[in-house]
Structures are given as structure tokens and as C-alpha cells.
């Protein structure tokens, strides 16, 4: 029985010393858009339109990350007034200390959201 005490104590110490995975929270806001991403959520990046939702028509969204970018055309907001990326799509761009940039184009307007890590 004494043989197991030292390995068990070492195992407990190692487990206690491991830091949990850091949560990543990003938010950005421009005149017409708000972007939210939380790594501890089941949802991916959500892009909210802040004005009255008439007919925005098709959106073009470009996300520029550190090593890659993604361009999505002809997407529309859902009934709640936002567009949502999947968790898997979002994780490529939203890593610890990353500073992705989101370009939104709709109708004849465009805005850029610079994401800040919170």
C-alpha cells in the first residue's frame, strides 16, 4: 500500500498544476455591426446587424486571420438579425492573442470590424 502513496501524490500534484484551457472572448463593434465570439460557447462567431432590419440583401463577409482568410458571399441574416459561423469555422481565426479583421459589405455599404480580445 505504501508503494502507491508517492505515485498518487505526484499524480495529484501534476493534475493540480495543469492550467485549464484559456477561454478566449472577442468582441467588436462598428457603426452598423457587432461581432461576438466566446471560446466556451457552443456557438461560433456571431455577426449582429445593429440597425432596423429591412432588406439588407445578400452580404459579403471576409475574415482575415493571421495565416488564412475566408470570403463568404450571398449570405443573409437569420430572423434574429445575425449571421452565425460554426464553431469549427470560427476556431481557425479566434485563437489566443489573435487579432482577426472582419470586412462586411451589404447594399452599397461596407465596414471593417477590428476584433479585440477581452
Q: What is the pLDDT of residues 59-83, one digit of tens each?
A: 999 999 888 899 999 999 988 889 9
- pLDDT band (50, 70, 90) for residue 115: confident
Burial of 48 (0-12, 13-18, 19+ CB in 10 A): middle
Structure confidence at residue 70 (pLDDT): 92
Please tell me the pTM assigned to this model: 0.74
User: What is the rounded distance in angstroms from the CA atom of residue 77 to the CA atom of residue 89?
Assistant: 17
Which of these ranges, 21-25, 77-81, 85-89, 92-96, has the smallest mean pLDDT? 21-25
Amino acid at each position: 500500500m505504501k508503494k502507491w502513496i508517492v505515485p498518487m501524490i505526484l499524480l495529484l500534484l501534476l493534475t493540480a498544476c495543469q492550467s485549464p484551457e484559456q477561454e478566449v472572448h472577442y468582441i467588436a463593434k462598428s457603426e452598423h455591426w457587432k461581432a461576438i465570439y466566446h471560446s466556451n460557447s457552443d456557438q461560433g462567431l456571431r455577426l449582429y446587424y445593429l440597425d432596423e432590419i429591412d432588406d439588407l440583401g445578400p452580404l459579403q463577409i471576409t475574415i482575415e486571420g493571421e495565416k488564412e482568410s475566408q470570403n463568404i458571399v450571398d449570405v443573409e441574416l437569420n430572423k434574429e438579425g445575425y449571421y452565425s459561423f460554426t464553431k469549427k469555422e470560427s476556431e481557425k481565426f479566434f485563437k489566443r492573442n489573435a487579432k482577426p479583421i472582419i470586412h462586411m459589405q451589404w447594399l452599397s455599404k461596407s465596414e471593417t470590424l477590428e476584433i479585440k480580445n477581452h
